[in-house]
Amino acid sequence: MTGDWLQMAWSPQNAGYTLMPTYQYRCKKCGEEFEVIEHMTDHTSTQHKCPKCQGKQVAQVMTPFFAKTSRKS
26 lies in a domain? yes
40 lies in a domain? yes
Question: Residue 6 above 80 pLDDT?
Answer: no
Distance CA 42, CA 24 (A): 14
| Domain range enclosing 34 | 18-48+58-64
The per-residue pLDDT for 13 is 53
2 lies in a domain? no
* 39 vs 32 pLDDT, higher one: 32
33 lies in a domain? yes
**Mean pLDDT of all residues belonging to the chain:** 77
The per-residue pLDDT for 51 is 96
Q: What is the pTM of this model?
A: 0.63
- Count of domains for the chain: 1
